[in-house]
């Protein structure tokens, strides 16, 4: 366990090691990423067991795919593209001033990563990979709610990176708060909107730039042309992956009035596929108690349909919860999917107006119609006829908007998030330079007038 005093010691160690003269070469960064990839492969069983111990259990297939395979593919994608991303961009220009421009891509220095518990490996390692690829030193603080995974990260990263390149700090909220108060080159936070606001306020004191990857009540919309037979499987998978503890899970599903029972039956039918071996636990009693409270409120006011599984936190579908319900006001982050009904799709646009979820999903057998509908309301990202999988497209930037956060990462966007793009200009030499300073000749004044038209 780390204490607040360890935060300062780690920060000073990393800061002393960082300078633009000591930035690792691209080749050296790639070697570190290759070493990290090998270590993940060698420790695969240990990492799977650690995550499962935190969730009691975590479905093995979910950890292998959404945590480890995702991270390994991130490393491979980064290694393939890093030489191109890190290359200075040079260009000859004639206007408005002739010369040569250069953009140098430089690390920001010591950066902080505050990672969450719901995907405790992937959401710690993927931003760390981007930060290391950009040449930074990294201070990583995993969530205290996934202690086994945090300890596994300490062992994994400690075996790959020297202590003056990456430091992993365990501990509670006081340690995370201490990280937010450091004068960092960049701070990357994944978590709730409420905590994100506090992180941003703390970082503002030192003018530390921040990336906030927050939550958001991500809607799924089944347009009239959508079909429970064709589309319920993908919605059910996204909603109940990791027992609903996914930041881009469908938070609620809009369906045409009169079709809600057909959708509920189809969704709960697909829920059977998670059992007995592929369904994850809730992270802790705090999450379970919150789910119970939401279900108690919903059961007293509307229909709650459970999946047929001998698990206390089995998936539920809630039909048209009334206005003011917690299910309609908060990000659910549990295996509960409210079904809301509409008469005309324009009602969905009106209901979602003013919100800025992390993702939005639209379903229709006419994918062009679904895409056109998706354009009518905003979100951090989204999909047509699918859920969650847009995260796996490494060339797509992933991030929120408004209450779901700001900044983005994945692929080149992540590399740029942790980089400073330094603009350099070298003017062409010649007599024209004399025109730039007074006294201005008549010819210069004429040129100024032409340029200002």
| Residues designated as active site | 213, 247
Of 76, 64, 173, which is closest to residue 122 (Cα–Cα)? 64
The answer to whether 40 touches 68, Cβ cutoff 8 Å, is yes
| DSSP-derived secondary structure for 285-347 | HHHHHHHHHHHHHHHTTSEEEE-S-S-TT--EEEESPPTT-HHHHS---SSEEEEEEESSHHH
Distances (CA, A) of 203 to 36, 212, 314, 391, 406: 29, 11, 39, 27, 14
The reply to whether omega before 215 is within 30° of 0 (cis) is no
* SS3 of residue 259 by DSSP: coil
Element (H, E) at 68: none
Rg (CA), the chain: 25
207: number of CA atoms within 13 Å, CB side? Answer: 0
In the sheet where 336-342 sits, what is the strand order?
A: 303-306, 316-319, 336-342, 252-256, 219-222, 359-363, 381-384
The total of other beta-carbon atoms located within 10 Å of residue 448's CB is 11
Contacts of 7 (CB under 8 A, 6+ apart): 139, 169, 175, 178, 179, 182
- Whole-angstrom distance between the N-terminal and C-terminal Cα of the chain? 65
The total of other beta-carbon atoms located within 10 Å of residue 84's CB is 9
Strands 99-107 and 89-93: antiparallel
Distances (CA, A) of 400 to 200, 248, 405: 15, 10, 4
Distances (CA, A) of 209 to 113, 122, 142, 198, 322: 12, 22, 20, 14, 40
d(CA 44, CA 288): 28
Residue 289, beta-bridge partner list:
none
Distances (CA, A) of 34 to 40, 320, 351, 383, 399: 10, 50, 47, 32, 26
Which backbone phi and psi does 368 adopt, to 5 degrees?
-65, -40
């Amino acid at each position: 366990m780390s204490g607040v005093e360890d935060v300062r010691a780690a920060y000073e160690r990393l800061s002393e090691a960082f300078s633009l003269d000591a930035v690792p070469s691209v080749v050296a960064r790639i070697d570190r990423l290759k070493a990290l990839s090998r270590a993940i492969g060698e420790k695969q069983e240990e990492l799977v067991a650690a995550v499962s111990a935190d969730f009691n259990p975590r479905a093995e297939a979910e950890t292998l795919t959404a945590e480890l395979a995702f991270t390994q593919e991130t490393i491979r994608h980064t290694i393939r593209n890093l030489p191109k991303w890190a290359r200075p961009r040079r260009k000859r220009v004639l206007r408005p001033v002739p010369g040569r421009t250069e953009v140098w891509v430089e690390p920001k220095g010591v950066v902080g990563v505050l990672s969450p518990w719901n995907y405790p490996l992937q959401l710690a390692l993927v931003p760390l990979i981007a930060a290391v690829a950009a040449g930074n030193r990294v201070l990583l603080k995993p969530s205290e709610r996934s202690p086994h995974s945090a300890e596994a990260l300490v062992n994994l990263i400690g075996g790959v990176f020297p202590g003056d390149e990456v430091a992993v700090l365990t501990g509670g909220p006081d340690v995370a708060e201490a990280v937010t108060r450091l004068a960092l080159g960049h701070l990357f936070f994944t978590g709730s909107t409420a905590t994100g606001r506090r992180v941003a306020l703390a970082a503002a004191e030192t003018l530390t730039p921040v990336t906030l990857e927050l939550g958001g009540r991500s809607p799924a919309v089944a347009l009239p042309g959508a079909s429970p037979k064709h589309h319920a499987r993908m919605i059910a998978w996204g909603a109940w992956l990791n027992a609903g503890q996914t930041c881009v899970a469908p938070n609620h599903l809009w369906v045409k009035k009169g079709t809600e029972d057909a959708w509920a039956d189809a969704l709960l039918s697909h829920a059977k596929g998670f059992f007995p071996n592929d369904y994850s636990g809730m992270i802790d009693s705090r999450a379970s108690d919150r789910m119970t409270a939401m279900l108690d409120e919903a059961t007293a006011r509307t229909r709650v349909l459970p999946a047929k599984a001998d698990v206390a936190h089995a998936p539920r579908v809630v039909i048209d919860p009334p206005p003011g319900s917690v299910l309609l006001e908060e990000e659910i982050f549990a295996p509960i999917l409210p079904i809301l009904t509409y008469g005309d799709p324009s009602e969905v646009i009106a209901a979602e107006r003013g919100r800025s979820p992390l993702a939005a999903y639209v379903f229709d057998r006419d994918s062009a119609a679904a895409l056109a509908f998706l354009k009518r309301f905003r979100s951090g990202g989204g999909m047509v006829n699918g859920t969650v999988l847009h995260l796996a497209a490494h060339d797509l930037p992933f991030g929120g908007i408004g209450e779901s956060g700001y900044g983005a990462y994945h692929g080149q966007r992540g590399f740029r998030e942790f980089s400073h793009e330094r603009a350099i200009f070298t003017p062409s030499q010649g007599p024209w330079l004399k025109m730039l300073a007074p006294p201005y000749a008549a010819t210069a004044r004429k040129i100024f007038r032409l340029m200002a038209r």
